[in-house]
Amino acid sequence: VQLQASGGGLVQPGGSLRLSCTASRTIFNTMGWFRQAPGKQRDLVASVAWLGNANYADSVKGRFTISRDNDKNTVYLQMNSLKPENTAVYYCNRISTPSLMAARPLDSWGQGTQVTVSS
């Protein structure tokens, strides 16, 4: 499956962005959004199962919302109250389990989309 992430950009602290991840076919797996800041490992920040059950990392809980439109083969990440430390390249992927601690990515990585939070 091919996954294309989009929607990143430059935003001021406190601002919002909505990321999209479109798949080349229907995906029944749980989907996840990952991010990788410069010099840091890639971390899973949110997951959403086929029926919409979502899990979040503590660092984004209450500010980020993950959702999916199965008819459009698309997963979204609504990011509100953005902080400079949210600056990273964001990636989407199918994951092995909804659990953020146990999940592993199932596909090769796409290009991701750059999110920069800066004044």
Q: Name the amino acid, one letter, at 29.
A: N
User: 19 and 114 in contact (C-beta within 8 Å)?
Assistant: no
Instruction: Retrieve residue 112's tokens.
Output: 């991701």
User: Tens digit of pLDDT for each residue in 34-83?
Assistant: 999 999 999 999 999 999 999 999 999 999 999 999 999 999 999 999 99
User: Tens digit of pLDDT for each residue in 23-44?
Assistant: 999 999 999 999 999 999 999 9
Q: Smallest Cα–Cα separation from 47: which of 85, 119, 98?
A: 98
Mean pLDDT, residues 103-114 taken together: 93
